[in-house]
Amino acid sequence: MQNLIKLNHIYKAYTLGPLKTPVLQDISLTINTGEFVVITGPSGNGKSTLLNLLTGIDKPCEGEIIVNGSALHRLKEEELSVWRGLNVGIVFQFFQLLPSLSLLQNIQLPMDFVNKYPRKERLERAHYLLDRVGLAKQANQLPGQVSGGQQQRAAIARALANDPALLVADEPTGNLDSATAENIYTLFATLQQEGKTLVIVTHNEELAKTANRHITLHDGRVSSDQYQSPLQ
Amino acid sequence: MYLNSILWKKVSSDLLIHKYRTVLSISSIAIGLFVIGTLLGMMDLQLSYMDKAHQASQPSHISLMLRRDVDFSVAETIRNLPEVDSVDTMTQFTGQFKTSNSTPWQTGTLLFRTDYLNQKQDQMHLLAGSFPHDKAVAIERLSAQYAHLNLGDTLEINTPNGTETLTITGIIRHPFVKPPTFGGQIHVFIAPELAPTFNIPSSSFRQLLVQVKPPYSPEKAHLIASEIRQKLATLNIPVNATLLQNPEQHWGRAIFKGIHLILTVMAWASLALSSVLILNTVGALITQQTNQIGIMKSLGARRTSIAKIYLSEVFVLSIIALLIAIPLSWVGAYYSSQWLLDLFNIEISGFVYSPKTLYIMIAGGLIAPILAALQPILQGASISVRQAISSYGLGADFVSNRFDQWLELKIATRLPTIYAMALANLFRRKARLIGTQSVLIIAGVLFMVIMSLITSLKLTLNNELARSAYDIRLGFIQDQPGETINKLVNSVPNTQQIELWKRLPVELSVNAKLIQQVGSLGMQMIALPTNTLMYKPLIVEGRWFDSSDEQQDHLVLNADTAELNGIHVGDKIQTSLLQQSSRAWEVIGLYRWFAGSGYAVEPVYGPLSTLQLNTKTEFKYSFALLTAKLNSLTEEKAYLEALKAVFQEYPIALDVYTTLAKREQRQFAENQFKPMIGMLLGLAIMIAIVGAIGLSGTLAISVLQRTREIAVLRAIGAKSKTIFRLFMLEGLFHGLLAWLISVPTAYLVAAPLAKQLGLTMLGIHLDFVFSQLSVLIWLVVVLILAIFATYLPARNATKIVVRAGLEY
């Protein structure tokens, strides 16, 4: 299998006044294409920071991050925006759908940013993705008009808009009830079966069991990294 | 407002951290205050200086312009009338002169008073040098400025006995001169001993000034003026015009009454509009700091403590805005009033400001923003801790209603996503949208109304001039035989047609009571041929003359005067003409009078043949109306100068006030309207700037409030230029929406508003036409304003870093 993500000796600290607080220390990891990785650990132990580094939202103080062949630690903010649009789909805890756009338009938006698909295909693809997440009927509704679970499914559809190699999610079920959350696990599992690489930060033990690799962070270091048989 | 030092620290840091928002808030209050301070200050300074200058000149209550030179003994006779307190005299006549700067002869007014050192009424003050004596003359202040004449310069003056070279030794202020740019003449003061050189006896006068015995009242002055005219009529002295004036208030007050009312309303409106922006800014600040409010409340802060913090912020903003606006408005008021007073020949010595306006500014500047901010502050302060500290991602601040759903389904789905998002964002915060839009819409409507006013004014002038077929009107100081006029006029090349008219002072009465008139310089009958080709006024009721009116006692009256006195077509009114007993004349038509401000002699038209029938002596004419082969203003000027030269040579004295050239007159009329229109346009621009600041503020706030949203956009691949485009589009949509609303609004209100403005400010009934050009100009202006207003917020939006934005 091909390496999709490679982290070499990552060190990340935040400076607050005179204090420098390390968040991630000497993290080295390799994630292959098609893996479904969950990252767990107590709050404040660097999970979200690690996710931010993988998506180019944040930069390491030391070390290298190579994702899908790009050295993210060397890219500028503007280059990172373009890179993200093409290579990574992000699913946020609070869905973060644009409230004034319909679900359909929310999905078209990344395609319009990146121009990977011809203009004529974008609408059709947005409909296809919404259909995939079971929201075909809600296409023209505003986010505020649908449930939290539906919003999160739309957010996943948006993350898939440009068919990225990597899908990352930060607490994607943190705001959902258990039945809705289960739907989301199933969706992630299906995406993995289709060859997508998923990296998900979660506190949800059930979700963690659906992945084939489980990384635990403690005090900013990898305390365990285990492959597991995912629950179907 | 007591706040402890920590809370003051919060107030100051809130203001300092968001410098851009602070600057926008201060600018919007400061502009509103500046407009108020400048306009109210200008009006106060203008009126008080006008009145002071007027009172200082010891104004006559009644001023009678006589048609010929009259001996001083007549003045003595008038002084002996029971209610007359004192009389004074002067003589003004037309002359030709050359300055060292100009080669052709120019026409001007020559003036002398019997004793310059002992002027009783309408005093002319010496500003520099000495009063005229021997061959030393003085020049009027405005004339000196206009013709670039100084003490020591010489003037060549044409006299019936040859050319006289005179030296300017004094500069004098004349209280009643029209500025030369408005068609006023150059005024030269000569010594009385020089009068015989112009065949005028030095012991005579042409203008009689009268003060009535105290107490003064306009009714009393009106009555005595009528008595004096009758007395003069018995002495065979015709009066050209009678001017009545209030000794306390400057005659120019009437001209500014309307415009001052409108400017006052607009000044307060601009403060109200800038307060709308404060409402927007404070509303946004509260929304942005909702979380902080929740935390403060959870720490024990009460509603009043929270409200105090934000009211203190508004208070600080208001104080800073006042400190900026006060000195600027002092300068604005000083220079604008100086400019306006200069038109009335009044000088302000040294820098002055209006204390009354300062108090108004302080009160308005502190009260209006606090009032505007009160509602969002109280609402924010009342929010519960749970509401305040909860956060649910991007949609938390967006409650979609039916309109948003309609917009999304019907419009946005047809647009590319960036356009759809910019459009939806435009309507996202409706209260703020209304605030921002209202300022831009009002500015747009005002702009289009003013442009329509200008276009309508031009149309009205064109229509009025189209009703006049003549190119030149010659007015004579004394009526002249038709044969002589014809001979002289036809000796000037290019003359085509000539028509002769006569004027006579007239008094109209209904039920033995003199009628009230619109024209403040009295009434006169203009007798013209019933088949006149030279002029036909705009008839609003009844008809104009035709052959059936020959030798009939028929008249055509000013429609406003008719309305004022309840006179209708078909009514008979007692008409008293010079040396004739009063007779009942029938009103056959009412005409629309075109006279800016009403500061003019009001015409009553009658058939020339009726007057000729009743005249026992040789019939003479007061006006010659001429058409000529003329293609430009230059040709017109040359032709008029040639006519003036021929009449001067003969010699027949032309009346400077009634001799006019049509094209030149149009230019003067436009010049007269320019200051007021300029002021209105300036106001519209100010309001537009307030609108642009508001728009900039709204978008800056949007960027702040949508920081997380921008971060999400960047996280899903949006480039800087996409974010920049998104906000620029939103700004342009704002401009476009304001334009779309202001065009039909302006179209609806322009006609009544422009007509009312024309009537109130300029004293004329406008022929209305909507300025279509203004629609296009405003589109360009509002889009340019939107681009300027949006640029900075849009650029700031591109600087938002994803991680920081997501944590916002």
- Chain B contact for A60 (CB, 8 A cutoff): no
Average pLDDT over residues B556-570: 91
Q: Is B797 on the interface with A (CB under 8 A)?
A: no
For an interface test with A, give the residue of B399, B417, B428 to mutate (most A CBs within 10 A): B417
B802 touches chain A (CB under 8 A): yes
> What percent of chain B clears pLDDT 90, i.e. is strictly above it?
28
The confidence score (pLDDT) of residue B396 equals 54
Task: For A33-71, write each residue's pLDDT tens digit.
Answer: 999 999 999 888 889 899 989 988 888 999 999 999 999
Q: Which of A82, A96, A120, A123 to probe the B interface (max B CBs under 10 A)?
A: A96
Interface mutation vs chain B, best among A78, A81, A108, A117, most B CBs within 10 Å:
A81
From the list B412, B428, B716, the residue facing A110 with the nearest CB is B716
A108 in contact with B, Cβ within 8 Å? yes
Q: At residue B6, does pLDDT exceed 70?
A: no
* Residue contact B714–A144, C-beta within 8 A: no
Chain A CB contacts of B395 below 8 Å: 95, 97, 99, 143-144
Q: Which of B404, B416, B801 faces A77 most closely, judged by CB atoms?
A: B801
Confidence of residue B808 (pLDDT cuts 50, 70, 90): low
Residue range B215-242, pLDDT digits in tens: 998 889 988 988 898 888 888 887 877 8
- B420–A99 CB contact, under 8 Å: no
What CA–CA distance (Å, rounded) separates B421 from B709? 12
Which of A81, A97, A114 is opposite residue B714, by nearest beta carbon? Answer: A81
Q: Which segment of A110-124, B117-131, B279-293, B322-336 scores lowest on mean pLDDT?
A: B279-293
Compute the nearest-CA separation of B381 from chain A (Å): 26
How many beta-carbon pairs below 8 A join chains A and B?
Answer: 120
Q: Cα dist. B89→B115, B207, B250, B798 in Å?
A: 10, 6, 20, 77
Average per-residue pLDDT for chain A: 88
Report CA-CA distances (Å) from B134 to B138, B166, B171, B197, B472: 11, 9, 16, 11, 36
In the prediction, which pLDDT does B237 show?
87
B712 in contact with A at a CB cutoff of 8 Å?
yes
Going by C-alpha positions, the residue among A163, A169, A69 that lies closest to residue A110 is A163
A84 touches chain B (CB under 8 A): yes
Residue B399 sits at the chain A interface (C-beta within 8 Å): yes
**B521-538 pLDDT, tens per residue?**
677 889 999 999 899 988
In a mutagenesis test of the B interface, which of A90, A98, A151 is the best target, namely the one with the most B β-carbons within 10 Å?
A98
Q: List, for residues B586-639, the tens digit of each pLDDT value.
A: 999 999 887 655 456 788 999 999 888 877 666 889 999 999 998 888 888 889
pLDDT at B87: 95
pLDDT in tens, A100-155: 788 998 898 888 888 899 988 999 999 999 998 889 999 988 888 898 889 988 99
The contacts of residue B592 (CB under 8 Å, 6+ apart) are B537, B538, B539, B540, B559, B765
- Give the span between the Cα atoms of B574 and A176, in whole angstroms: 95
CA distance A113 to chain B (A): 5
Q: Return the residue matching tokens 């078209």.
A: A108
Tell whether A172 is within 8 A of chain B (Cβ): no
| A window 137-156, beta carbon within 8 A of B | 140, 142-145
Q: Which of B428, B716, B803 sits opposite A113 (nearest CB)?
A: B716
Question: Residue B212, SS3?
Answer: strand
Range B334-356 average pLDDT: 86
User: Distance between CA atoms of A189 and A174, rounded to whole angstroms?
Assistant: 18
Indicate if the pLDDT at residue B366 is higher than 80: yes
Fold for domain A3-227? Rossmann fold (3.40.50)
A104 interface with B at CB cutoff 8 Å: yes
Mean pLDDT score of chain B:
84
Banded model confidence at residue B330, pLDDT cuts 50, 70, 90: very high
The Cα of B296 is separated from the nearest Cα of chain A by a number of Å equal to: 23
For residue B404, list chain A residues with Cβ-Cβ distance below 8 A.
Answer: 100, 142
What is the model's pLDDT at position B548? 93
ipTM of this predicted complex? 0.76
State which residue of chain B sits closest to A108, comparing Cα positions.
B417
Q: What pLDDT does residue B807 have?
A: 64
pLDDT given for residue A66 in this prediction? 94
pLDDT at position B724 is 92
pLDDT at B59: 92
Check A142 against B806: CB less than 8 A apart.
no
What's residue B695's pLDDT? 77
For B366-382, what is the mean pLDDT? 86
DSSP sequence for B73-126:
HHHHHHHTSTTEEEEEEEEEEEEEEEETT--S-EEEEEEE-S-GGG--SS--EE
pLDDT tens for residues B723-775? Answer: 999 889 988 998 999 999 999 999 999 888 888 777 776 667 888 899 999 89
User: Of A219-228, B563-572, B760-769, where does mean pLDDT reach its minimum?
Assistant: B760-769
Rounded Cα–Cα distance for residues B235 and B664 (Å) = 38
Average pLDDT (A11-35) is 88
CB-CB: which of B427, B713, B720 is closest to A78? B720
CA distance to partner chain B, nearest, from residue A107 (Å): 10
* E strand or H helix that includes residue A27: strand A19-32
Indicate the pLDDT class of residue B400, thresholds 50, 70 and 90: low
B506 by Cβ neighbours in 10 Å (0-12 / 13-18 / 19+) ranks as buried
Whether residue A31 has pLDDT greater than 90? yes
Question: If we measure between CA atoms, which residue out of B444, B441, B429, B445 comes closest to residue B699?
Answer: B429
Q: How far apart are CA B140 and CA B168, in angstroms?
A: 10
Residue B542 in contact with residue B586, Cβ under 8 Å?
no
Burial of B752: CB neighbours in 10 Å, binned 0-12, 13-18, 19+: exposed
